[in-house]
Chains A and B, each alone.
Chain A
Amino acid sequence: MSFILTEDQQMLRDTAMAFARDELPVTHLRELRDNDANGVDADTRTKLAELGFFGVLVPEEYDGVGLGMVAMGQIMEAQGRTIAATPLLQTAVLGASTLILGGSEAQKAEWLPKIASGEVTVAVAVDEGTHHAPLNIATEAERNGQGYTLNGAKRFVTDGHHADMFIIAARTFGEAGQAHGVSLFIMPKDTNGLTVQALNTVDSHGAAHLHLEDVAVGEDAVIGAVDGGWEILEPALDRGRIALAAEALGSAQAAFDMTLDYLQTRKQFGQLIGSFQSLQHRAAKMFTELELTRSCIGAALSGIDENRNDTAELASLAKARAAELIHLVSNETVQFHGGIGMTDAHDSGLYMKRARVQEALLGGASYHRDRYAKLNGF
Chain B
Amino acid sequence: MAFDAPEELEAFRTEVRDWLEENCPASMRTPMRDDEIVWGGRLEKFKNPDSKIWLERMGEKGWTAPEWPAEYGGGGLSKAQARVLQQELRRIKARPALFSFGLWMFGPALLEFGNDAQKKRFIPDIVKGKTRWCQGYSEPGAGSDLAGLQTKCEDKGDHWLINGQKVWTSYADQADWIFCLVRTDKTVKHDGISFLVFDMQSDGVEARPIKLISGSSPFCETFFTDVKVPKEQLVGELNAGWTIAKRLLQFERSSISAGGFGGTGGSGILPPQEYAKQHVGVDETGRVSDGDLRARITDHLMYAKAFGLTVQRSTEQAKAGQEVGHTASIMKYAAAKMNQDKCELIVEALGTDGLGWSGDGFAEDAKKATRGWLRSKGNSIEGGTSEINLNVIAKRVLGLREHQ
**Which A residues form the contact surface with B (CB < 8 A)?**
1-4, 260, 263-264, 271-272, 274-277, 280-281, 283-285, 287-288, 291-296, 298-299, 317, 320-321, 366, 369-370, 372-374, 376-378
Contacts and interface: CB of A to CB of B under 8 A. Distances in A.
A293 B317 CA distance: 16
Contacts of A369: 295, 298-299, 302
B307 A378 contact: no
Which residue, of B286, B302, B317, has the highest number of chain A Cβ atoms within 10 A? B302
Contact of B390 (A280, A294, A298): A280
Interface string B302-329: 1101110110110011001010000100
Contacts, number: 125
A268 B273 CA distance: 47
B400 to A, nearest CB: 4
A248 B253 CA distance: 30
A285 B390 contact: yes
Given A264-B401, A288-B334, A378-B287, 15 more contacts: A4-B322, A264-B399, A271-B403, A281-B394, A287-B397, A291-B327, A292-B303, A292-B310, A294-B313, A317-B305, A370-B298, A373-B294, A374-B287, A376-B273, A377-B286
Contact of A317 (B287, B302, B310, B404): B302
Contacts of B239: none
29 contacts: A271-B404, A272-B400, A272-B401, A274-B401, A275-B400, A275-B401, A277-B391, A280-B394, A280-B400, A281-B391, A283-B394, A283-B398, A283-B400, A284-B397, A288-B333, A292-B303, A292-B306, A294-B310, A295-B310, A296-B302, A321-B302, A369-B299, A372-B301, A373-B301, A376-B273, A376-B301, A377-B273, A378-B288, A378-B297
Contacts of B310: 291-292, 294-295
DSSP majority for the B interface?
helix
B15 interface: no
Contact of B307 (A1, A264, A292, A294): A292
Contacts of A276: 403
Contacts of A373: 273, 287-288, 294-295, 297-298, 301
B13 interface: no
B401 A4 contact: no
In the A-B complex, the 8 residue pairs with the closest CB atoms: A280-B394, A284-B393, A295-B309, A292-B306, A295-B310, A284-B390, A3-B313, A274-B400
Contacts of B299: 369
A296 B398 contact: no
Interface in B376-404: 387, 389-391, 393-395, 397-404
A214 to B, nearest CB: 36
A378 B403 contact: no
A325 to B, nearest CB: 10
Which residue, of B297, B299, B312, B394, has the highest number of chain A Cβ atoms within 10 A? B394
Given A276-B403, A378-B282, A287 B393 contact: yes
A285 B287 CA distance: 31
A287 B398 contact: yes
A50 B329 CA distance: 44
Nearest to B391: A280
